[in-house]
Chain A
Amino acid sequence: GQSLEQPSEVTAVEGAIVQINCTYQTSGFYGLSWYQQHDGGAPTFLSYNALDGLEETGRFSSFLSRSDSYGYLLLQELQMKDSASYFCAVSEGDTGFQKLVFGTGTRLLVSP
């Protein structure tokens, strides 16, 4: 079956660095994405890794190891507005019709 596991909750203080892990087991794999969702809001795209290694986008970085079926999202210089849920998602399916399978989600709480 398909599964993407994430820690349910992570807490940190402003200015800190936090890492959210994602391990996956899916029938197909084109890449690993990360989305942020504030309460009651729409998920927004953060990053995408198709190949092994680290992708950096401002304060956020994402890592992928395909051999380990593992990835993580690294958030640096945490701000209060980073309090949200973070989902990893695997792209799978035939090219052009790729769908996302979402992880269980991690709730990040940033305190002053």
Chain B
Amino acid sequence: GAVVSQHPSRVICKSGTSVKIECRSLDFQATTMFWYRQFPKKSLMLMATSNEGSKATYEQGVEKDKFLINHASLTLSTLTVTSAHPEDSSFYICSAKMAEKLYEQYFGPGTRLTVT
């Protein structure tokens, strides 16, 4: 149980275009979902926290107009990278929490974004 999926797993896009990444909790309802960014061999950097039906809370230094987060339901959150640039190339990982386990997060397999 507690499976989180992400789609797509890999995406290549051109500079200036937008890319949408989906994160789904497949077998549980996620009270909260999180979006992280990870550079090669580096730690996970929290970008934002989102709760169903409310606006996402962004971490300091993360541009909310560039990284649009929508938490449409208790099983789906999307991250849209708008007007992508090469420096946005990274590994984006989502995670989800359920109400019963406040301290544990379930991570998706990640999305490798390459902006050319």
Contact = CB atoms under 8 A, between A and B. Distances in A.
**Dominant secondary structure of chain B at its interface with chain A:** strand
Interface string B30-67: 01101000000111111001010000010000000000
Contacts of B42: 105
B49 A30 contact: no
Nearest to B102: A98
Contacts of A105: 41-43
A50 interface: yes
B interface residue count range (under 10 / 10 to 19 / 20 to 34 / 35 or more): 20 to 34
Contact of B103 (A41, A42, A85, A91): A91
B43 A99 contact: no
A42 B108 contact: yes
A24 interface: no
A42 B44 contact: no
Interface residues of A, number: 27
Interface in B72-114: 93, 95, 97, 102-110
Interface of A: 30-31, 33, 35, 40-45, 48, 50, 85, 87, 91, 95-105, 107
27 contacts: A30-B103, A33-B103, A35-B107, A40-B110, A41-B110, A42-B107, A42-B109, A43-B95, A43-B107, A45-B105, A45-B106, A48-B103, A48-B104, A85-B41, A87-B43, A87-B44, A91-B103, A96-B31, A97-B32, A98-B97, A99-B49, A100-B34, A100-B46, A100-B105, A102-B43, A105-B41, A105-B43
Interface of B: 4, 31-32, 34, 41-46, 49, 51, 57, 93, 95, 97, 102-110
